[in-house]
Amino acid sequence: MSALPGGTVTFVFTDVEGSTRLLQALGDRYGEVVRDHRRLVREGLGGAGGTEIDTQGDAFFFSFARASDAARGAVDAQRVLRNHGWPDGAEVRVRMGLHTGEPSVGEEGYLGLDVVRAARISAAGHGGQILVSETTRALLGNVLPEGVTVHDHGETQLKDLQHERIFELAVDGGPASFPPLKTEAPKSPGDALAERIKRQVEQDIERSFSDISPPTLTGRRAFSGPIIALLVGIAIAVIVLALYLN
């Protein structure tokens, strides 16, 4: 591996969406897809000055000294991937995520949350999509690759991380729209309250049945006053929960 860019670095993570489905559909020809995919991604990202940090299967990890070069490389890679003639008319769509930070560099490479954040941003996207963090977007300013517009996806919750405002670099000629980002929606205090009520209701129901007396000679079960009060309380809790959820 060549010397890693230090200081302020922009990371790019990529991977193929639905690779297992492609493997099942193409069989032995999937190896050809992997080889072409790797060549085209390296052509786009490496051609823009990126340093290849790692590749595993259909995923890549690149770093750039400049955010603008990273954006240009991602856009170039998406274009060549989209225009390539894949075998049997297959659709090979690659998601990409960019984030800029000041990571530590150790013997094994880059260290720190900035690496994790870039990977999480990539994982939130869909094939053919380029997502960037707020930090990267700020560094890009108005210097965008030709034919690119920016969409603001707002604040999102990335797995195990604080909220991140995510932007999309939409490339002309690409998909007109994508499904919602694959992020973890944070639970509100109200959600937590509803969950506690639900658990309490379940526990109270279990206790109420365990406290019911055996059948009497008439075949009816006798309910004590406390049990009746408990059941009334459960009913009220259920009503509160239903009103909240609606």
pLDDT tens digits, 9-63: 999 999 999 999 999 999 999 999 999 999 999 999 999 999 999 999 899 999 9
Residues 112 and 84 placed together within one structural domain of the fold: yes
Query: Which mean pLDDT values do the consecutive 10-residue runs of the chain (246 residues) have?
Result: 83 96 93 96 97 94 97 98 93 97 90 94 96 98 94 87 90 86 59 53 60 53 54 55 50
For residues 16 and 77, give the distance between their C-alpha atoms in angstroms, rounded to a whole number: 12
Residues 33 and 131 placed together within one structural domain of the fold: yes
Domain of residue 73, residue span: 9-171
- 74: CATH: 3.30.70.1230
CB 62 within 8 A of CB 50: yes
* Three-state DSSP state, 157: strand
Q: Mention every residue, 6+ apart, whose C-beta is less than 8 A from residue 154.
A: 165, 166
In this prediction the pTM is 0.74
Residues 32 and 75 placed together within one structural domain of the fold: yes
CB 122 within 8 A of CB 97: yes
Phi (first) and psi of residue 159, to 5 degrees: -55, 125
> How many distinct structural domains can be found in the chain?
2
